[in-house]
Structure 1
Amino acid sequence: MQNASKITEERINKGSLLALAPIGVFLVLFMGSGIITGDFYKMPALIAFMVAAGVALMINPKESLQNKIDIFCKSAGDPNILIMVIIFLLAGAFGSVAKAMGAVDSTVNLSLSILPANLLVTGLFLVVCFISISMGTSVGTVSALTPIGIGISQKTGIPLELLVAIIVGGAMVGDNLSMISDTTIAAANTQGCELKDKVKMNFFVVLPAAIISIIIVAIMTSGYQSASTETYSYEIIKVIPYLAVLVGALAGANVFVLLAGGVLFAGAVGLFTNSIDLWGFIGAVSEGMAGMQELCILVMIVGGVIGLIKHNGGIDFVLNYITSKIKSATGAKIGIALLSSIIDLCTANNTITIITAGPLAKEIGEEYDLDPRKIASILDIFASCWQGMIPYGAQILTAVGIAGVSSVAVIKYLHYPIFLLIFGIISITVDFSALKKKKTH
């Protein structure tokens, strides 16, 4: 591995601060509109990045516009970008079909049916974790389970703010460990590693954070008992598609085969149980893919903008600056963690954060010979921990909107994201996993 001083010498006089202007424009538009309006989702990320793309095309006026457009399009159509697009579409289709045929309701109700009364709340956290890993969407999990949290609060007297925090925290576990989460897909693909390897890296950070969170929740709710005799209706057969995807993912199945098979399997179960008909299945597939269209377009636009930033010397500038400040591989990992953290705090979207920071992180990793799986894990961990804590994030906004509580009141109970941040920092210097670094040739 080259040492930092040699790399810095090779990069002297290389790069351009001006080339980074598109990222600055995006952050000003996105963050600025949120501060001014009080709504951090007022400015669509896609619009902000389109403006950033226009700025990127105006930089370096001596170069022909057509050449810059060619670079933008080539970067937007990079094989890794297109792979992400296809995976996003398949993941959207699977989630939509599973919901349409009743898999979500059955999975939730089955989980709640098997929980002992004295472990209702700690069990709820585990249920949320399982469902978020199965669904691959933290916001979807929050939407599905917050009404359950409201019911538990009404029947036990447990503060609703605590239950909302438990649901938000458990939902973020899916972003960390789900094989079909867009954050996992984005982190793994931007670094060129396998989805399962990134998940394995995350596991050793997520596990201690989750265990401590469970212990704290158990202590805080030990005096409460459920007085509910309610029975939950479910059909085991409708849970099987989720289990099949989980088992297939852990077995290392190709992600395209896994998701396409999951769509067909969920559809077959729906048809068999008369939950949906053929046209309902086709409509659900279409609806699920349509729901991912904006994200797919955003990924391509971001890819094009990053391509122009790299062409104009922006990445070289950042790398030159970073290598002048950090002197070790550990320092490089800290830099990647800070990059992921800052962008998520500004954008309030961990998927956008990973897509934006991923190419830069990959360049830094190559300079310091870092394991791509470790980089993917760091990107995901630090984007997710902040995403689960900021009061203007989609997860908390969705939960408090349904529950009718204050975002600020929920934050003090967010144990999992806090411990995820702590163990994420520890993981930078301590390798939790027993995975040996794969050799590259």
Structure 2
Amino acid sequence: MEKKQGSVLALFPLVVFLSLFIGSGVMTGDFYQLPVLVAALLASAVALVMNRKESFGVKVERFAKGAGHPDIMIMVLIFLLAGAFSATAKGMGAVESTVNLALSVLPQNIIIAGLFVIAAFISLSMGTSMGTIAALAPIGVGIGEQTGISLSVAMAAVVGGAMFGDNLSIISDTTIAAVRSQQTKMKDKFKTNFFIVLPAAIVTILLFIFVTSSQEVQVTIGEFQWVKVLPYVGVLIAAIAGVNVIAVLAGGIVLAGAIGLVDGSYTLSTFVGKVAEGLNGMAEIVILTMLIGGIVEIIKHNGGIQFLLNLVSKNVRSPKGAQFSIAGLVSATNFATANNTISIIVAGPLAKQIADQYDIDARKSASILDIFSCAIQGIIPYGAQLLVAAQMASLSPLEIIPFSFYPMLIALCGALAIVFNFPSVKAKPVQSTKEVYLNN
């Protein structure tokens, strides 16, 4: 079969976006000097004027198709519900009560490490990093404000814990995509993946303890009402039960509103106002997500994604090299698409070909796909996770990245697992697509 040709020039809109977004902040010292939407709009304009073989109208339609892709629209809906849940829960006092409860239970010197563990548990239960960040980011902000600990550190703990579950949860989109593309079993991939990333989680906890240990935490623990913690508890229980994240967040909004109406925190009009406030607060990230979706669609059509696929797979010579090429493949695709699920879907078929050619166990190739996609997603400043966390804490995503220990460490652990062939697994017979479906 003839190999498709890619085009490095097709990646130019992404280069423009990153140069404007990051470069302006570095040059001016103020990452808010150039709004991120302006950078995305300029990159969109560059994407639309490229490829003169097609009419402008066709390119606009293709851009709109990417911006309105079902995955993008689902993400947008989650963003909006996350904003509404955050605002309504905060408005009826859920954040204050939850923060005070956490402060009364957790030793103050390990409060941020505890926040990471809580985020990891919730994301493992919910199967979504976005839902976890929506639920815990306001609590992280509250803890940061109460303790004086940097909000960047608190948000990094939330994002890191959220990426733990995004990578491991059996109901996570990334896990499902990785397992099905490599034709293996969900439970087998979980076991292999877990042993690779467990050291990263342990070291992350120790790092957060170390980073915050030198700070003198002076906290006045206020009163808390158990009933006001229920929106977060309800979200957690629903997630453990395997309820869809959209239903989880919608239920959280209703529960927060009901409690607020009963205890007098809300009237019907103020509750509706808080919902609207939460929706409006997500307007920027919704627009940005759609613009990036449109840019990626044009980059893909023009051969940018294919160029990345060809680049990372052309010099494979050994099983270890093949595993590193799979890691590089999904990482490069994630940089270009800013979506770890989409990057696995795009890179998965080629990764499967490489794995089969070099006799790499499907459990390992699926784990590599998932680990490196989540590692990149947790550190790119234009990824949804960091954008939402930064939005909720009124920070720049770039302020969170230096403390994003977990995504960096899982990339390191993933690389070491390839070098030292850990965990040692023998290749299993390849399953049919039907068998994979029935097993998952």
Q: TM over 0.5, yes or no?
A: yes
Cα offset, 1:268, TM superposition: 0.9
Q: Distance in 2 between matches of 1:432 and 1:375?
A: 17
Q: Distance in 2 between matches of 1:397 and 1:279?
A: 25
Deviations 1:278-335 (A, max 9, x none): 1121111111111112211112111111111122222222222222134565123321
Q: Distance in 1 between matches of 2:409 and 2:282?
A: 31
Q: Distance in 2 between matches of 1:414 and 1:73?
A: 33
* Structure 1 range deviating more: 140-149 or 303-312: 140-149
Equivalent of 1:288, from 278, 295, 320? Answer: 278
Q: Distance in 2 between matches of 1:322 and 1:236?
A: 53
- Matched residue type, 2:25: G
- Matched residue type, 1:384: G
Change in 2 beyond 3 A, CA 1:93/1:318 = same
Q: Distance in 2 between matches of 1:25 and 1:221?
A: 37
Q: Distance in 1 between matches of 2:391 and 2:424?
A: 33
| TM-score, length-scaled by structure 2 | 0.72
Cα offset, 1:250, TM superposition: 2.1
Deviations 1:373-429 (A, max 9, x none): 863543222332577xxxx9997999898xxxxx89x96x88656644433444666
Q: Distance in 2 between matches of 1:373 and 1:130?
A: 23
Match status 1:136 vs 2:133:
yes
Change in 2 beyond 3 A, CA 1:280/1:135 = farther
Q: Distance in 1 between matches of 2:253 and 2:377?
A: 29
Q: Residues 257-272 of structure 1: matches in 2 within 5 Å?
A: 257-272=247-262
Deviations 1:164-188 (A, max 9, x none): 7863552333431467xxxx98967
Q: Contact 1:354–1:380 (CA<8 Å) still a contact in 2?
A: no
Q: Contact 2:86–2:138 (CA<8 Å) still a contact in 1?
A: no
Cα offset, 1:368, TM superposition: 1.5
Q: Distance in 2 between matches of 1:185 and 1:280?
A: 35
Deviations 1:317-360 (A, max 9, x none): 2222222134565123321464379x5xxxxxxxx9733x7645
Change in 2 beyond 3 A, CA 1:290/1:169 = closer
Q: Residues 66-81 of structure 1: matches in 2 within 5 Å?
A: 66-81=57-72
* Structure 1 range deviating more: 256-265 or 134-143: 134-143
Q: Distance in 1 between matches of 2:406 and 2:7?
A: 39
Equivalent of 1:171, from 140, 154, 158? Answer: 158
Equivalent of 1:330, from 302, 323, 335? Answer: 323
Give the aligned partner of residue 6 of structure 1.
none
Q: Distance in 1 between matches of 2:292 and 2:261?
A: 39
Give the aligned partner of residue 125 of structure 1.
113
Equivalent of 2:374, from 373, 380, 389? Answer: 380
Change in 2 beyond 3 A, CA 1:376/1:338 = closer
Identity %: 35
Cα offset, 1:141, TM superposition: 4.6
Match status 1:83 vs 2:67:
no
Q: Distance in 2 between matches of 1:40 and 1:224?
A: 27
Cα offset, 1:139, TM superposition: 5.6
- Matched residue type, 1:364: A
Equivalent of 1:364, from 334, 347, 356? Answer: 347
Match status 1:10 vs 2:2:
yes
Q: Distance in 2 between matches of 1:73 and 1:316?
A: 21
- Matched residue type, 1:136: I
Q: Residues 343-358 of structure 1: matches in 2 within 5 Å?
A: 343=335, 354-355=338-339
| TM-score, length-scaled by structure 1 | 0.72
Report SS of the residue matched to 2:325. Answer: helix
Cα offset, 1:221, TM superposition: 8.7
Question: Gaps (5+ residues) in structure 1?
Answer: 1-8, 151-159, 344-351, 402-406
Change in 2 beyond 3 A, CA 1:332/1:415 = closer
Match status 1:339 vs 2:332:
yes
Cα offset, 1:78, TM superposition: 1.5
Give the aligned partner of residue 32 of structure 1.
23
Q: Contact 1:30–1:45 (CA<8 Å) still a contact in 2?
A: yes
Q: Distance in 1 between matches of 2:90 and 2:299?
A: 40
Q: Residues 211-290 of structure 1: matches in 2 within 5 Å?
A: 211-215=202-206, 230-290=220-280
Higher relative contact order (CA 8 A, sep 6+): 1
Q: Distance in 1 between matches of 2:37 and 2:177?
A: 19
Q: Contact 1:353–1:383 (CA<8 Å) still a contact in 2?
A: no
Name the Cα RMSD after superposition. 4.4
Report SS of the residue matched to 2:53. Answer: coil
Give the aligned partner of residue 62 of structure 1.
53
Q: Distance in 2 between matches of 1:227 and 1:22?
A: 47
Deviations 1:155-211 (A, max 9, x none): xxxxx6xx77863552333431467xxxx9896799899xxx899798666653343
Change in 2 beyond 3 A, CA 1:189/1:292 = farther
- Matched residue type, 2:269: W
Q: Distance in 2 between matches of 1:440 and 1:353?
A: 26
Report SS of the residue matched to 2:338. Answer: helix
Cα offset, 1:89, TM superposition: 1.0
Give the aligned partner of residue 5 of structure 1.
none
- Matched residue type, 1:354: A
Give the aligned partner of residue 147 of structure 2.
149
Question: Gaps (5+ residues) in structure 2?
Answer: 123-130, 181-185, 353-361, 435-440
Give the aligned partner of residue 438 of structure 2.
none
Report SS of the residue matched to 1:211. Answer: helix
- Matched residue type, 1:362: I
* Structure 1 range deviating more: 204-213 or 40-49: 204-213
Change in 2 beyond 3 A, CA 1:300/1:282 = same
- Matched residue type, 2:159: M
Change in 2 beyond 3 A, CA 1:386/1:309 = closer
Q: Contact 1:315–1:360 (CA<8 Å) still a contact in 2?
A: no
Deviations 1:124-168 (A, max 9, x none): 521464369585157645432222322xxxxxxxxx6xx778635
Q: Distance in 2 between matches of 1:43 and 1:23?
A: 16
- Matched residue type, 1:96: A
Cα offset, 1:361, TM superposition: 4.6
Q: Residues 34-49 of structure 1: matches in 2 within 5 Å?
A: 34-49=25-40
